[in-house]
A and B are shown apart, each in its own frame.
Chain A
Amino acid sequence: MRFESIDITNYRQYQSLSVAFPQTMETDLHVIVASNGIGKTNMLNAINWCLYGDEPHLGDKDDSLTICNHIALDEARKLGEKFATVSVCIHISAGSSKITFEREVDVNVSTRFEGHDRFKALITNEDGNTDILEGGAADESVNQYLPRKIRQYFFFDGEQLHNYFGKGQDSSHVKDSIHEIAQVSVVTNTRQHLEKIIEEYQKAIAKLNPAVDKLSAAIATKKTDRQKLEDEINALESSIKESEDVISTLNQQISGTETVVADNQRYNDNLALISQLETDEQKQKALLLTLVRKYYILLMMYDVNSSTDGYIHEKFEKGVLPPDINIDLIKSSLAHHECVICKNTINAAAEAYLNSLIEKFDVSTIVSHKLVEIKNDVARAVREAKNYKKEKQSIFDSLREISERISVLSSENEELYKRISACSSIENIGLWMKQREENRTLIRINSEKVGVYKTQLTALTQEITTLQAQLDFAIEDIEKCEELKYALNFATEAKSIIAAIENEIISEVRTQMESETMTLFEELIWKKNTYGHIELNENYRLRLFHKTTNESCLGSCSAAERELLALAFTIALHRVSGHDCLLFIDTPVGRVSDINRENFAKSLITVSKKKQLILAFTPSEYSTEIRKYFDASVVSSYNKLISVDEEITRQEV
């Protein structure tokens, strides 16, 4: 199936545009080159609007201009017409049939209100007879050739391709679409519908034998239980695969950064320690200040006190300083010839001794007393002043030790910071490691559940087999329903064959998709010997493996690489499914740099030998590297879709 031509009238930028896509024997490659804003994407919108009645590539439908070209609206108003008509016609060929899909809508020139659109399909068969289908029948006809739910696999925006395998993408939707394109869903639906017919036959037979009815009901219940178990197992296995994917992605993200978390912890611990040491340092400095204040007077007086202490000490040594004797009492005792304290009579010898004492104390008694009084204080002041040095040294030692520890920790933190700052996502690493652990736990739990469920499934399957044997035996007993039995057996046999085809096709489509996508990706990608193989899980979640390390590495691919991978995947899908339809790609290599476009050009020329390709480029995107290969193969090229002051749009070939 291919597009022969498109006629667009009064649709957005296009007042009147006809684009033909003739086919040659060699290639079916068509190129549209237009600057941004001229209407490449709106051509994609026009196709979608014609076939499906919507414009999926419009930025914001609610905030966009009316679908009708505004020049056409003005012209209609000037002519006194109430409406201007927008129309898009797509002419396709499918085998020997020619089909025209046409959608029209009238837009009120005053209110710009859009009426209900009209859609029809004109199908001309090889005999030249034409059927006209309208409404739902016309929609059905579109779905036969270009099914709406898989349209993203033949009309797509290349700028969005890099998001194709994004984390947020629901891969089960990809699986459903692939099954739709590869017609696996046709096989599945056939099998399911045939099962319903088989049930009808069983019920009809059961009416003739109640035992059959009971057994059929029991089998149906068991089958429902088995289906539930299978669904549970599939969901769990899918969850396990997803957890494995998550772990693989997290491993890539965490790889080489495990120590960063420890480094970061150490860095923060060190910061806390440095802060504590700085507080200690301030405390020691405060102690030093208190010490200086405490010893200020003592130190100022140290020389005086020291010499005074020496002087007193010297006088004591020489015995110049008298003991603490009251000379007045001695003199009073001598005057009374009697001791004033003990009242004993002082004899001549004692009198002579007392007189010698009085003579001996030649210093002033007052000075002597004062010196004796301050002796201990002066000695203590001198002693304490000597402690200052010791105490000061102790504080200095503490300060030096603190300073050294701060210096060591700061140096260590400088090194740690270098390593931490080299990692751009330190705040995420801890979270990633936690997520990895959670997913490991999830895998363990789910794997245990799968084991239990599979055991139950085996038992249930055995029960169904036993019941089925009993049912077959019961049916055998009924003589009256030979004809029904024959039809039932025939349908059951067919169902088994279809189920076997379904199982094998599901597996083979996936395997072929893996190998075709890898082959095409290797042709498209400029890096050779980098990527090893591709794996698709049951839900078609894609994993790309590095050739050397054999690690999953899709997360590390650039946007351009992902774009080419998505393109490879899409083309592989068309090849594997045998789905006969065109590919229309808007901005196919927007993210791929010039030098790497050669592979793209060569690969698509090969694809265009078996499939119609319509590619819409910007002038810069349609670079020398692409033109070099395309010029010889392009069948039609619309290289200037010109919008002159937004007034009219024409084509130049």
Chain B
Amino acid sequence: MIQNPLILEKLKEKTLGDEVMHEFILSIMTNESNGKQYAKFFRSEVEKYSKLREDKGGEDK
């Protein structure tokens, strides 16, 4: 879990208007903070969220 409010504030500020990116980074950071294995999780999250954004981009268009 990300407890440091500064990190959460920065993340919000840097991903303003990009909800997918915000969710993706928060997800992999939370995984990291819980000390869990990263490789498999990161790959699946990249694929999941990149696809989600691609789909969302398509919808937007």
Contact = CB atoms under 8 A, between A and B. Distances in A.
Q: Is chain B a partner of chain A in the same complex?
A: yes
Interface of A: 140, 143-144, 182-184, 186-187, 189-190, 193-194, 196-197, 200-201, 486-487, 489-491, 493-494, 497-498, 500-501, 504-505, 508-509, 512, 576-580
B34 A505 contact: no
A500 B53 contact: no
5 contacts: A183-B2, A489-B50, A491-B46, A498-B29, A501-B7
Contacts of A490: 21, 24, 46, 49-50, 53
A505 B29 contact: no
Sort chain B's interface into a size bin: 20 to 34
A497 B7 CA distance: 12
A578 B21 contact: no
B6 A505 contact: yes
Given A140-B35, A183-B2, A486-B50, 13 more contacts: A186-B33, A190-B25, A194-B28, A200-B43, A490-B21, A490-B50, A494-B46, A497-B15, A498-B25, A501-B11, A505-B6, A577-B4, A578-B6
A500 B14 contact: yes
A634 B2 CA distance: 31
Does more than half of chain A's interface fall in helix, strand or loop, or is it mixed? helix
A41 B21 CA distance: 48
A497 B21 contact: yes
Interface in B3-57: 3-7, 10-11, 14-15, 21, 24-25, 28-29, 32-35, 38-39, 42-43, 46-47, 49-50, 53-54
Contacts of B14: 497, 500-501
Nearest to A1: B3
Given A194-B28, A504-B10, A577 B35 contact: no
Interface of B: 2-7, 10-11, 14-15, 21, 24-25, 28-29, 32-35, 38-39, 42-43, 46-47, 49-50, 53-54
Contact of A190 (B3, B5, B6, B28): B28
A247 to B, nearest CB: 33
B6 A194 contact: no
A215 B5 CA distance: 39
Given A487-B46, A578-B3, A193 B32 contact: yes
Contact of A182 (B4, B10, B39): B4
Contacts of B53: 490
Contacts of B25: 190, 494, 497-498
A491 B39 CA distance: 13
Given A197-B39, A493-B21, A494-B21, A501 B33 contact: no
A190 B21 contact: no
A177 to B, nearest CB: 14
Nearest to A577: B4
Contacts of B39: 193, 196-197
A190 B50 contact: no
B14 to A, nearest CB: 5
A206 to B, nearest CB: 17
A451 to B, nearest CB: 32
Contacts of B29: 186-187, 190, 498
B7 A187 contact: yes
A577 B3 contact: yes
A184 B15 CA distance: 18
A486 to B, nearest CB: 5
B30 to A, nearest CB: 9
A223 to B, nearest CB: 19
A194 B42 contact: yes
B10 A186 contact: no
Given A187-B29, A190-B29, A501-B10, A197 B43 contact: yes
B48 to A, nearest CB: 10
A143 B3 contact: no
A138 to B, nearest CB: 13
A579 B38 CA distance: 23
Given A187-B29, A194-B28, A504-B10, A486 B54 contact: yes
A493 to B, nearest CB: 7
A500 B15 CA distance: 11
Contacts of B11: 497, 501
A497 B13 CA distance: 10
Contacts of B6: 182, 505, 508-509, 512, 576, 578
B6 to A, nearest CB: 6
Contact of B34 (A144, A196, A501): A144
Contacts of A194: 28, 42
Given A197-B46, A500-B14, A494 B5 contact: no
A69 B6 CA distance: 47
